[in-house]
Amino acid sequence: MLAVWTLSRAYLRKKKLQNGLIALLILLSTLLLATSSAVISNTSNIFTDRHNAENGSHQLLLLGAGLHDPQFVHDWWKKQEGVTASELMPYRSLSGINYQGKETANMYLYMMDTQGTPPRVDNLAVAQGAKSEQPEQGTVWVPTSLASSHGLHAGDTIEFNTGNHRFELTISAVVIDIPFGGPFATSARIWMNNEDYKEQLQEMPGTDKYMLALRFEDYEEQGGYWERFEQALGSPYLESKMEFEEIASFYLIINQVIGFIMVFLGIVMMLVALYTIGFTISDAILSQYRTIGVLKTIGLTANKIIAAYVLQYACLASIAVIPGLMASNWISRLIVASSLSVLRTEHNDISLQGTAEAIVIGAAMFLLVIICVLFHTNKARSVQPVQAIRYGMSEEESSKLTGRLLAGGAESRGRGFGRFPVAAVLGFRHIQKHRKGSLLMLILATVTTAVLVLGFILMNSIFSIKQTASLWGYDSSDIAVTIVNKAAFSREKFEQELLADSRIKNIGWIGYANSVIPYADARSLNINTSVVDGSYEEMGYTVLKGHNPRNKNEIAIGVNVSRELGKEIGDVVEVYVQGHKYNLAVTGIYQAIANMSYSARMTADTIRMHNADYNDMEISLINLHDSEQSDAFVKALNAKQGESVSAVTQQTLLDAVYKEAVSVLIVPMSLMGLLFLFVTFIIIYTTCRISIRKEGKTYGIYKSIGMTANKIRISVTLGIVAVAALGTALGVFIGVYVLPFMLGSVLVNYGLVELPLILSWGGIVAMAATSLIAAFLGSWLSSRVIKGTSPRILVEE
C-alpha cells in the first residue's frame, strides 16, 4: 500500500498543471449540475411551500358579468366536503396607478373591498410593512409583483384614477398575493379599507363584482366537483376562472429555462472532464511505458499500478466535488432569490432545499471519475516488461512507428505540404500529432460559442421583443389607448379626430370576454377571448396556421386549446359567450405566452349576433405611417384627451412586462458565458503548454536551424486557432438552431410552439469572435516557454 501511495503522490506532485486542470473541470461539472438541480427543484418547492403555507387557491372564480348569481355559486361551493371556499370578495376595476408623476403601463387593477375577517383561502403574508385585519383608512396593501416591478415600498403614496376623479392612498403593506403575485403580472389586487372603498369607488358606473377562491383537498378530484356544480347550475359555468396551472406557470417559467440550459451545459462539461481524464491517462501510460515495465519487473502488480492512478484521481475528485457543491449552493440561491423575489418577505428569506440531491450529484460525479479511470488504466495490464524496457512501447507499436518513419518522407511529399508556408505546415503537424488534445479544444470552442450565442440571442430577443410581439401572441400596433372614463368619452368623436390626422395609418378596437367551450366527459374550458372590431391583421396579430377570424362565424384558437379539444382548422367548436351559444368554424391556430395559449380570438360581429348593441371594447390599437413618431403622438394625445383615456406605446407595454425577464436572465447567462470562456482559455493554455514541453527537442531543432521563437509560436497558435475556428463555426450552428429547438421543447406546455427569436448576425459574430480570442490567447501565452528557452537546452531535454 505504501508503494501505491508513493506512486500516487508522485503523479500528483509531478504534473501540477495537468492535475489542476482536471480538478477544475470536475469542479465546474459538479457546480453546473448541482446548480441546475437546485434551481429546478427549489423553484417548484418554494412555490408549493408558499402556496400551502398561505392556503393558496387552486381556482379563482371572477363573477363580474352577471351571468350567474354570486351568492348561489358561493353557497354551493361552501357546502362541499373536501373544498374550502373563501367568502365572496367584492371588487371594482381600474387601470394603472400614478407613482412619482409616472403612469404605470399595462396594469389592470382589482380594487378589493377587504374583509374584516381572516381569509379562509389565499392568506396574505406580509413581505414589507405592517398588516392588520384590514388596511387602515387612507392606506392600501399591494402585491409584491406590483411593488417589485415598479419600485414601490411601504410608506409610498400612489394615485388612482377612476375616470371621474383621482385619489391618493399610502401603501401600508406589501403582501404576497399568490394568484396575482407572479413575475410578469399584468394585473394586481389592491386591498382597500372598507370605508375608502365605499367613498372612492361606489360612484363608479355599474355594481360590485365578486371573486371566489377555491382550494381542494385533492386537486385531482376537482373535475368531479365541477361536473356536479354545472348540473346544479343548469348550464356550463360561463364566467371567468383562473386555474392553478395558470397561477403557477409564471412563477416557474424563467427558472425552467435557466435550469434546462444549466443541465445541458453541466452534462457537456462532465463529458469534457471525463474525456480529459481519459486522454490524460492514456497519454501518461504511453509516456511512462518504460517506467511501468520497470515497476512490473521489481514485483509491482498491474492492480497496484492501477490503484495508484485511481487514488490520484480520487484525491482530485474529492478536492473538486466539495467546493463545487458549496459554490452551487451560493449560485443557486442567487438565481432563485432573484427570480422568486415576489415570494420573499423581510423576515423570512428564501431557504433552499435539496441537500440530499446535491450530495447524490457529487457522489455520482465522483463515481463516474473512478469508473473512467478504471476503464482507461486497464491498458496498464497489457504492458510487457521486456518490450517496455527495450522499446519504450509494445513491440507492435514500435514496428508501426518504424514503418511510419520510413514512409514519412514520401507521405509528406504526396500531401504536397511543400507548397504551403512553413508556419502552416508546423501548425497542422502540431494538431495532427496531438489529436486528442485538439479534439478537446474543438469541443470546448464549440460549446463555449454555442453558450455565448444562445445567451446573446435570448437577451437580444427579449430586448427587441417589439419586432416579434405577434409571435408571442401580442399585437404589433404602435400605440394602445385605454378608455378610462366612459362617461366622458365619445368613440365616434375620437375616431373622427384620429382619422383626420395624416399620421394615422389605421385604427381598431379590442376587448376581452370570457368564453366557455364544452367538450368530452362533461368538462369545459373557460378561456380568455379577444374580441376585435376591425382587422386582426392590421393590428398585427398572427397565427401559426390558417388565418385570424374575419367573419362572424369564425374563431381562432390557441395551440393548447387546439391540443385539449383535438380541433384543427375547418372544425366547428361550440362556444358560449355572455351566456349565448355559438357554433364557430376554426380558421386559425396561434401561440401566445399569455394564458398559456388557453385563449381564442373572434370578431365583435360574432357577439352582435345575439347582442346587437355590443360595443364593450375599451382599448383602441393605433398604427402610424411612421412608428418613430409614436412617443410624440402619445404625449400629444394624452394632453388633448385629458382624463378620459390613457395612451401608451406598444414598446412601453412590452417593456413593462419583460424587463423583469431581462433582469433575471442576465446574471446566470453572463455567469455561464464567462465560465465557459475561462474554461476554454485555461484548458487550451494547459493542453498547449503540456504538448509544447513534450515537443521540446523538436522545437530546439527548429531554433537551431534558424527559425525564430516567434515563428514557432505563430505556427503553434495558427494550428490551435484553426481548430478553434472550426469549433466556433459548429458552435454558431448549435447556438442558433439546435439549442433554441431544444429549449423550445421545454416551453411547449407554456403555449409556445415556435420560440420567437431575433437573429442579429453582427452580435452573433461578435460572440463567436470572443470565443476565438480566448483560444488565441490561451495558445499564444502558453507558447512563451519556447521564447525563453535556448536551443541547446531544448535539444538536450
pLDDT (tens digit, 9 = 90+) per residue, 611-657?
A: 888 887 788 899 999 988 988 988 888 888 766 778 888 888 887 77
Return the residue matching grid coordinates 433582469: 663
265: nearest Cα among 417, 455, 468: 455
pLDDT category, 572, cuts 50, 70, 90? Answer: very high
Contacts of 563 (CB under 8 A, 6+ apart): none
Q: What is the pTM of this model?
A: 0.79
What span, in angstroms and rounded, lies between the C-alpha atoms of 727 and 763?
Answer: 18
196: nearest Cα among 155, 111, 109, 137: 137
Res. 733: pLDDT tops 90 = yes
Residue type (1 letter), 277: I
What span, in angstroms and rounded, lies between the C-alpha atoms of 722 and 728?
Answer: 10
Higher pLDDT, 759 or 668: 759
247: nearest Cα among 215, 209, 217: 215
pLDDT of 414 reads: 46
Residue 114, CA distances (Å) to 40, 127, 197, 587 in order: 35, 18, 9, 44
Residue 220, CA distances (Å) to 74, 120, 215, 324, 465 in order: 21, 21, 11, 39, 37
Phi-psi category of residue 151: left, alpha or beta, with phi > 0 → left and psi -120 to 50 → alpha: left
C-alpha cell recorded at residue 311: 487514488
pLDDT of 525 reads: 85
Contact indicator for 684, 778 with CB cutoff of 8 Å:
yes
Return the residue matching grid coordinates 497558435: 717
For residues 401-410, give the mean pLDDT.
49
Q: pLDDT tens digit string along 141-161?
A: 999 888 887 888 888 999 888
Q: pLDDT tens digit string along 164-221?
A: 788 899 999 999 999 988 777 778 999 999 999 988 888 777 788 999 999 999 988 8
Return the residue matching grid coordinates 399569455: 594
Q: pLDDT tens digit string along 252-270?
A: 787 778 788 888 888 888 8
Q: Would you list the domain boundaries of the chain? A: 1-56+243-383, 65-238, 416-467+658-797, 468-657
Give the helix, strand, coil percentages of the chain, each rounded to 5: 60, 20, 25
Higher pLDDT, 8 or 796: 8
> Poorest-confidence range of 48-57, 103-112, 309-318, 619-628?
103-112
pLDDT of 413 reads: 47
Q: Is 653 helix (H, G, I), strand (E, B) or coil?
A: helix
Average pLDDT, the chain: 82
> Can you give the length of the chain in residues?
797
Q: Is 286 helix (H, G, I), strand (E, B) or coil?
A: helix
DSSP single-letter state for residue 63: E
> Poorest-confidence range of 34-48, 317-331, 334-348, 771-785?
334-348
339: nearest Cα among 50, 666, 664, 750: 664
Beta-bridged to residue 506, according to DSSP, are: 623
465: nearest Cα among 756, 763, 760: 756
> Poorest-confidence range of 139-148, 273-282, 579-588, 732-741?
273-282
